[in-house]
A and B are shown apart, each in its own frame.
Chain A
């Protein structure tokens, strides 16, 4: 039996959690929508996605304000403190992923009229699939406080990194065969990079979830080595 003596405090924390899950969902949906617009050359659809990013920005600012209020008024400690620190870091990660979706949307107009080869189209769709999967998994790990799920994300991101490499090769092969000009090839390469970065942000979220649950970051391993070296040098 657990008696709750800080109901309001924990309710506000639950609200923040729900906000973040919603933000993650908006990003995941945005990735699919922007990919559809990109593959269809749908400039109108892309413009809608760009406008929708304002909603994500608003939500991220509101969520951050809630976190600040929690820190200022509730003196959170232990798992509560780690949660709010995680929430604050996650807001930036998710908000940044939203910006990357917007960047892809902006590329739709620049790529207007470009015929994409089936292989390139296929790789874009697979990058979408991986980026959505990583984002959704990171958010599930957060919502469920699942450090185990969070810990596999870094390895899973290799799939997206490999797809990205394969995609870049295909884009420039396509250019060399004279099917797309250099400006469009570069534009497409940059788009690929946006998907790849979305995966990185999902990995960052997952690392923060590990911190939330365990108090440790994967970076602690390397940091401990550096600390040992520093102490060695000081001796």
Chain B
């Protein structure tokens, strides 16, 4: 699969000029998926669009009849780190999974409302979820390397995407370097990934995620299984990666959100009269504002430990 392959499996037909125009706009705005290779300078008029990777409007997520997340509207800005924080059950991980259609892998999960990715409706039938997941990679809570060598872990995705054998060495080195792991593993690329420490395994997973040249990297509590030093390395790495990638991270560690993110979304959970607990977005603002002077009293109560 070449990088310029469209998000959609079906070519938009001529009767849908709107969709076509949007797809072109996407290509021109994103050098990585630009066929011509010419990095487009965004015009002032569409600047707002080029800054936005995802625009979510009135997103509801159901698991069967159960409403897990209610009415979320927010935009994710390009090359920023956006953190989702909130108590357990507030829907932050559920929401994170919406961005690469991972929820579809859960039986009975349903997403309503609009999630717009660079001008393309993510949840329309024409969109290929596999291609979405290539562009929107994910790193999980527990490092989950494949039972393969370090090299093959990284090469796996690019191979599937049709990368040539001759390109693989390069991709592996570049990805591992970008994930700040190359120097530690260059001499043992053919050994099992399971021989790495937890922190190294997590950086390997980040390297694996970026090996397929994604646009966005989703991280679901990527440091919760790591010690403070390994956590610090991942945090440094996130700060470096945001020059090339848009990062959305779910974290239970509020200080981590404060340290690494540009924007923070605080989710909370409310039980209805039947005891069903539904998550909702309470406040979404620049991180420095959330942690110095949040607008909503619920945000303040949560981050200062006065749990409402």
Contacts and interface: CB of A to CB of B under 8 A. Distances in A.
A32 to B, nearest CB: 38
A78 B306 contact: no
Given A215-B292, A215-B293, A79 B305 contact: no
B108 to A, nearest CB: 32
Given A2-B301, A81-B291, A82-B292, A75 B255 contact: yes
B307 A5 contact: yes
A48 B306 CA distance: 44
Contacts of A78: 290-294, 299-300, 303-304
Contact of B304 (A1, A3, A80, A215): A80
Interface string B282-301: 00000000111110000111
* Listed residue (A5, A9, A78, A215) with the most chain B CB atoms within 10 angstroms of its CB: A78
A4 B255 contact: no
A225 interface: no
A120 B129 CA distance: 86
Interface in B244-293: 254-255, 258, 290-293
Nearest to A77: B291
Given A75-B255, A77-B254, A2 B306 contact: yes
B292 A5 contact: no
A81 B305 CA distance: 13
A162 to B, nearest CB: 36
Contacts of B147: none
A3 B299 CA distance: 14
A3 B307 contact: yes
B292 A6 contact: no
B307 A82 contact: no
Contact of B300 (A1, A9, A79): A79
A129 B46 CA distance: 63
B307 A77 contact: no
B308 interface: yes
Nearest to B300: A78
Nearest to B258: A77
A133 B301 CA distance: 34
Nearest to B289: A215
Given A77-B254, A78-B294, A2 B308 contact: yes
A76 B291 CA distance: 9
Given A75-B255, A77-B258, A2 B292 contact: no
A70 B264 CA distance: 24
Contacts of B254: 77
Interface string A63-85: 00000000000011111111000
Given A2-B301, A75-B255, A81 B292 contact: yes
Interface in A1-51: 1-6, 9-10
Nearest to A215: B293
Contact of A82 (B290, B293, B301): B293
A78 B293 CA distance: 5
Contact of A2 (B258, B299, B307): B307
A134 B301 CA distance: 32
A77 B301 contact: no
B6 to A, nearest CB: 41
B59 to A, nearest CB: 27
Q: Which of A5, A79, A215 has the most CB of B within 10 A?
A: A79
Contacts of B291: 77-78, 81
A144 B294 CA distance: 20
Q: Which 10 A-B pairs have the closest CB atoms?
A: A6-B305, A215-B293, A77-B291, A5-B305, A3-B307, A78-B300, A80-B304, A77-B303, A2-B306, A78-B304
Given A3-B306, A6-B306, A77-B304, 10 more contacts: A2-B301, A3-B308, A4-B305, A9-B305, A75-B255, A77-B303, A78-B290, A78-B292, A80-B304, A82-B292
26 contacts: A2-B301, A2-B306, A2-B307, A2-B308, A3-B306, A3-B307, A3-B308, A4-B306, A5-B305, A6-B305, A9-B305, A10-B305, A10-B306, A75-B255, A77-B254, A77-B258, A77-B291, A77-B303, A77-B304, A78-B291, A78-B292, A78-B293, A78-B299, A78-B300, A81-B292, A215-B293
